Structures are given as structure tokens and as C-alpha cells.
């Protein structure tokens, strides 16, 4: 007795070839119907995912701002200044935000990568935050964590209107291959438009501290960007993780990861209150 399976397109195609004869016309029709019937379900699933992703984007896109930093870098006794731009995620309504430390202080990454680069130093000369409405406000660094590659900044002057921000009431804890939404803001070339993409969690590391990772093809876009579940729960932000003290560092010594929101929330307790 023949047992039919049509779990995927390959098995359906195989049985279609077997059922060439006239006597199998009805069977062929049943197989074709089963294959076509699955297509609307897949399309509906894709529409549901897109709709959920749009809901998350609509709710949180204003929480992603751009930070413009002027960094002074000292190499061999001489110093020069450069301007860096990166995304940051607002954590409170008065302008506290978090981003990857390496995005505004690249020298600290160089020092951690190579043990022979201790003569490098850097300092943040000035910080400005470009809010969702296009206004620019002065900001200052209030806390650094080099191990997690995080830096917390805060607007010098509280805004007149409370800012939209992510919440920690219920943080997201995605599982392997769960879909997540990443929100980012492009620079001047794209008129500072906000964007989003949906990817799957491809790796979860538990020790010594949990972190997540997605595919390398979107890793660059994820640095400094917040990540959410499709239910709108804050998962964390993208940062750089690297092996420290290597004598000959390579690409395998670093990767982009998602620092969980719970670890970010723990650091909030160390931030001094406003004067």
C-alpha cells in the first residue's frame, strides 16, 4: 500500500511524477489541491507577522534617537577630534538613553582587542541628541560599562514634553528561532527616517551572562538599536562583543549581540539622579 505524504514541496513533486497515469488522475488532483491549499495559509502567516511588526514599529519608533558625538582621540601624544553618529534608545521620559559604548568611543574597543594598544586614549568632547521631531539637545555621559559595551547618556536639560521611551514592566525573553523586531534610524542621507526589520533569534548564550544573536547579514544594522518581541516586549539592544587582549585579533574575535533588557535595567540603579 502506498502512503502519501505532502509535508513539503519536494514530496508533492515526487508523488506528482509517480501519478502520471490515467488511473491516478483523481489522486493527482488531490495532491495538487493539498499543495495549493497550503499557500494561502503561508501568505496569511506572513501578513500576520508584518501587521504585528508594524504595530511594534508604530509604538516604539520615537524611542530611537540619534546621538552626535565629538570624540577626541589621542595616539602617541597627539590628539585629533572626529564626529560620530549612532542610534540610542530612550529609557525614561526625561531623556535617559542607552547605546553601544563602542559606537561613540571606538578607542576603548581597540584597547580591549589588543594588549599592546595602551597608548591609545579617547574622551567624549561633546554630545548632542537628535530627537524624533528633529530638535537637538545637549547630553552628557552618566554611566559606562565596558564589559557590556554600554554607555548611558542623559539630556542636560529635561524636555518640556515627556519623551516616549521603552518600558521594563514586562521584558521580552525570546526563545530559539523566535521572530523579533529591530528598530533603527538612518542618517542624513535618508533624511533620518526610521526603519524596522524582522529577524529570528539564531543563538542564545547563557553563561556567564545571557545574550542573544541574529544572523550576521543584519548585525551591522542592529548595533545600538532596540529589539522587541512581536508582542511589543523590550528584548534588549545590539552591542559589540569581543575577546579581549588578543595579540593578533581577527573577525572571529568579535560579534554583534543583543544585551538583554534585564541587564540594562540592573545598571539603571547605578545612575546618579539629576542634581
Over the stretch 184-201, which tens digit does the pLDDT of each residue have? 999 999 999 999 999 999
Q: Supply the pLDDT for residue 22.
A: 46
pLDDT of residue 3: 46
Confidence band for 30, pLDDT divided at 50, 70 and 90: low
Question: Cβ distance 183 to 225 under 8 Å?
Answer: yes
Residue 10 is given by DSSP the state H
pLDDT tens figures, 219-236: 889 999 999 999 999 999
Taking the model in full, what pTM does it have? 0.80
Can you give the C-alpha Rg of the chain in angstroms? 24
120, three cell numbers: 591609545
Q: Would you say 153 and 142 are in contact if contact means Cβ atoms under 8 Å apart? A: yes
CB-based contact 196:61 (threshold 8 Å): yes
In the chain, the percentage of residues whose pLDDT exceeds 90 is 58
pLDDT at 72: 85
Cell 554600554 belongs to which residue?
A: 150
Query: Is pLDDT at 32 greater than 60 in this prediction?
Result: no
CB atoms within 10 A of CB 181: 25
CB 128 within 8 A of CB 138: yes
Q: Pick the residue with more confidence: 159 or 43?
A: 159
What strand order describes the sheet that includes 254-260? 194-200, 179-185, 226-229, 234-242, 254-260, 211-213, 203-205
Amino acid at each position: 500500500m502506498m502512503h502519501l505524504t505532502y509535508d513539503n514541496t519536494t514530496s508533492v513533486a515526487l508523488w506528482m511524477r509517480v501519478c502520471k497515469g490515467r488511473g491516478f488522475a483523481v489522486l493527482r488532483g488531490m495532491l495538487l489541491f493539498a499543495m495549493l491549499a497550503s499557500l494561502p495559509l503561508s501568505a496569511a502567516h506572513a501578513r500576520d507577522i508584518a501587521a504585528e511588526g508594524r504595530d511594534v514599529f508604530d509604538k516604539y519608533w520615537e524611542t530611537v534617537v540619534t546621538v552626535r558625538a565629538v570624540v577626541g582621540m589621542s595616539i602617541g601624544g597627539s590628539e585629533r577630534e572626529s564626529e560620530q553618529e549612532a542610534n540610542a534608545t530612550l529609557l525614561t521620559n526625561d531623556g535617559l538613553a542607552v547605546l553601544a559604548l563602542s559606537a561613540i568611543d571606538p578607542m576603548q574597543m581597540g584597547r580591549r582587542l589588543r594588549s599592546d594598544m595602551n597608548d591609545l586614549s579617547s574622551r567624549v568632547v561633546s554630545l548632542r541628541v537628535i530627537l524624533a521631531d528633529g530638535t537637538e539637545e545637549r547630553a552628557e555621559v552618566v554611566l559606562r560599562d565596558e564589559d557590556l559595551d554600554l554607555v548611558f547618556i542623559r539630556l542636560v536639560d529635561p524636555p518640556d514634553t515627556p519623551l516616549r521611551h521603552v518600558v521594563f514592566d514586562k521584558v521580552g525573553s525570546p526563545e530559539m528561532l523566535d521572530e523579533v523586531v529591530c528598530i533603527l534610524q538612518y542618517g542624513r542621507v535618508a533624511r533620518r527616517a526610521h526603519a524596522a526589520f524582522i529577524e529570528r533569534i539564531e543563538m542564545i548564550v547563557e553563561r556567564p551572562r545571557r545574550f542573544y544573536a541574529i544572523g550576521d547579514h543584519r548585525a551591522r544594522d542592529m548595533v545600538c538599536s532596540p529589539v522587541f518581541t512581536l508582542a511589543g516586549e523590550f528584548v534588549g539592544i545590539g552591542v559589540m562583543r569581543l575577546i579581549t587582549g588578543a595579540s593578533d585579533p581577527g573577525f572571529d574575535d568579535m560579534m554583534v549581540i543583543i544585551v538583554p533588557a534585564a541587564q540594562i535595567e540592573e545598571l539603571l540603579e547605578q545612575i546618579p539622579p539629576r542634581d
